[in-house]
Amino acid sequence: MKTVDKDHIQKVVDEIRAATVNEDLCIPLYTSHIKQAFYWSGLDKEVREEIANGLRVLERETRWHVKALREIEKIYLESIKK
């Protein structure tokens, strides 16, 4: 079995955690700040709805990314224990 480089794994875990934080920070932007900005933009209702639909997709995908990153982090942390 290959020897586990715990320092390297910890660096990867740190990067995963940073990516998770970045993804988490984007969710409020998609869910409220940008939607509010578009609401007051003066764009036609249909255009605003199209943009809002796109933002909902981004929000859903970002939540999935956060979940996936946390699962990957668990895998890496488990490999340190071995």
Task: Tell me the per-residue pLDDT of 27-53, one tens digit each, with 9 for 90 and over.
Answer: 888 788 777 777 778 889 898 888 888
Q: What is the pLDDT of residue 52?
A: 83
pLDDT at 51: 84
**For residue 14, what pLDDT band results from cuts at 50, 70 and 90?**
very high
Spatial contact of 11 and 67, defined as CB atoms under 8 Å apart = no
Domain assignment present for 22: yes
pLDDT of residue 15: 95
Tell me if the pTM is above 0.85. Answer: no
Give the Å distances, CA to CA, from 60 to 24, 40, 47, 70.
Answer: 12, 23, 20, 16
Q: Residue 1 falls within a domain, yes or no?
A: no
**Calculated CA dihedral for residues 46, 47, 48, 54, nearest 10 degrees:** 110
Domain extent, residue 40, equals: 6-81
Q: Which pLDDT does position 17 carry in this prediction?
A: 95
Question: What is the number of structural domains in the chain?
Answer: 1
